[in-house]
Amino acid sequence: MLSSSSRLLRVLSLLQTRSHWAGPELAERLAVHPRTLRRDIDRLRQLGYPIHASSGVAGGYAFRAGQSLPPLLLDDEEALAVAIALQIAAAGTVSGVEESSLRALVKLEQVMPTRLRRRTGALRSAIVPVQRMGPTIDASVLATLATACRDQLQVGFSYRDLRGQASVRQVQPHGLVHTGHHWYLVAWDPARDDWRTFRIDRVQGTPRTGAHFAPRPPPAGDLRAYVTGAMAGVHQQGEQARVLLHQPREVMAKTIPPSAAALEAIDDAHCLMLCGTGQLDSLVYWLMALDVEFDVLEPPVLKERLRRASERVGRSLARGGEDGRLPEPHP
């Protein structure tokens, strides 16, 4: 039989693992009488935990949102995960949460048992943050968009695209994706009757939420796959590059990330690379640096850029000679 305080912690832990518990089932799990369970629920409510009770055949107990944040109950692995996340957030790409993340981390470490504090300290000393990759975004903008995705609310915002062109968008948000460098919103754009991705750091001002909308199945199977495909130009309208690589797909997938291009298997020795043609000069450099035989299928302009690049390399080698000496200056 658990002690009263231990049982309260056990009740609280179980209530946080699922959205609803039937009263008899929860009492049986705790090996107590239903009356004892009711008294424990009352004590937890007095401590500030918002526990809702319902009666009837489907009656039971559920943890609900309250007016203030009650104490949380975390196991060792959960506490360690939160500590790591807070440390990363303190040096992350979401602005406005650095100081609060540090305060929360200090509070968490103060109440940690010694064994966990040592593990957290070891991780802190081992994790060396690097310079931030990508622009920072405002935490309130991220929270507003996340809420709109969760509650299926239309959202409007001013947006400035890669070319600096400004527009006002009214979309149906479906999810947020972080690629490691940027945050993206994936949304259905009714005005364009298609899916769109939006870099959140290019959202201007505060987004405005509107009416509810009916959800749609995610594009490309899941949002992450769609965003990486959009970054590679796979979903764009118009011309695309199609390049035959003389290596199997599983080999090239180790070198070419999904955010750069899509790879399709052809046979055991070849695969097809698909990507956008928005930056042809970068694509030429990338192909020449792949260290793999390839054949450009389309577009013709990419073939022409590669021909010019190869001629420029040939002229450079011819001018430099075999001894690598600098040319004599003109008198």
Residue-wise DSSP of 32-43 = S-HHHHHHHHHH
Phi first, then psi: give them for residue 253, nearest 5 degrees. Answer: -65, -20
pLDDT, position 169: 95
Going by C-alpha positions, the residue among 280, 190, 299 that lies closest to residue 242 is 299
pLDDT, position 328: 63
Cβ partners under 8 Å of residue 83, min gap 6: 105, 108, 109, 112, 120, 123
Question: How far, in Å, CA of 178 to CA of 159, rounded?
Answer: 18
Q: What is the DSSP letter of 19?
A: S
188 DSSP β-pair partners: 172, 195
Given a contact cutoff of 8 angstroms between Cβ atoms, the answer to whether 230 and 283 are in contact is no
Question: How far, in Å, CA of 245 to CA of 250, rounded?
Answer: 12
Given a contact cutoff of 8 angstroms between Cβ atoms, the answer to whether 245 and 274 are in contact is no
pLDDT, position 127: 64
pLDDT, position 193: 92
Going by C-alpha positions, the residue among 68, 60, 63, 66 that lies closest to residue 22 is 60
Residue 205 amino acid letter: G
Residue 330 amino acid letter: H
pLDDT, position 331: 57
Cβ partners under 8 Å of residue 263, min gap 6: 245, 249, 252, 253, 256, 271, 272, 273, 274
Report the DSSP pairing between strands 262-265 and 271-276. Answer: antiparallel
Cβ partners under 8 Å of residue 247, min gap 6: 269, 270, 271, 292
pTM: 0.53
Q: What are the E-state strand segments in 131-270?
A: 137-138, 153-160, 166-178, 183-189, 194-199, 203-212, 240-245, 262-265
pLDDT, position 320: 65
* pLDDT beneath 70: ranges in the chain: 1-3, 57-58, 66-72, 90-93, 124-134, 180, 220-221, 229-239, 259, 278, 320-331
H or E stretch covering 195: strand 194-199
Q: Return the number of other C-beta atoms located less than 10 Å from residue 21's C-beta.
A: 20
Q: How far apart are the first and last CA of the chain?
A: 100
- Per the listing, tokens 């600098």 go with 326
